[in-house]
């Protein structure tokens, strides 16, 4: 199992802000592809053209990376602080 946390506007996809998912292994790109296949609103919100980052185990990623069973994945939409 992996846990996925959604931040900011991505909570509109998953109002609780988090979910657990059984994970056979794969990369962050494969996880995103799987989430996009859930429906048009997922495909739209997680479109590759939209800038967002992922973090695995609270480490921000700048490139695709493997996800291991038990990892905590966070999906971050474009930031709007300050």
Partner 1 sequence: MFSVRIQTRPISLATAHDQAHDRCGAEVRFVGKVRNDARGAALECLVLEHFPGVTESEIERIVGLARQRWSLQKASVVHRVGRIAVGEDIVVVETASAHRRDAYEANVFIMDYLKTEAPFWKQECFADGRAHWVEARASDQRAAQRWLAEGRQGAEPTVASAQRRRIGALILAGGEGSRMGYLNKGLQALHGRPLAQHVADGLRPHVDFLAISANHDLAAYESLGATVIADDPAFGVRGPLAGILSALGRFPPGLDAIMVAPCDAPLLPADLVPRLAAALFAPDGPPAVVAATASQTHYSIFMCRPGMLISLIPRMREPSDFSLRGWLRACGCATLQFDDEQAFANVNDLPALQALRA
Residues that bind partner 1 (CB under 8 A): 7-9, 12, 51, 53, 55, 58-65, 74, 76-82
- Nearer to partner 1 by Cβ, of 21 and 79: the residue is 79
Taking the least distance from each CB to partner 1, the nearer of 22 and 62 is 62
Give the E-state strand segments of the chain in sequence order. 2-6, 18-21, 26-27, 53-56, 59-60, 66-67, 72-76
Q: Among 62, 61, 54, which Cα is nearest to 5's?
A: 54
Q: Which is nearer to partner 1, 24 or 82 (CB)?
A: 82
- Report, in Å, the least distance between residue 77 CB and partner 1: 7
């Amino acid at each position: 199992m992996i846990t996925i946390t959604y931040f900011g506007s991505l909570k509109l996809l998953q109002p609780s802000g988090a979910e657990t998912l059984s994970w056979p292994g794969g990369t962050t790109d494969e996880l995103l592809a799987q989430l996009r296949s859930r429906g048009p609103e997922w495909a739209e919100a997680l479109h590759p053209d939209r800038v967002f980052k992922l973090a695995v185990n609270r480490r921000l990623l700048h490139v695709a990376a493997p996800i291991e069973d038990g990892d905590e994945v966070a999906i971050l939409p474009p930031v709007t602080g300050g």
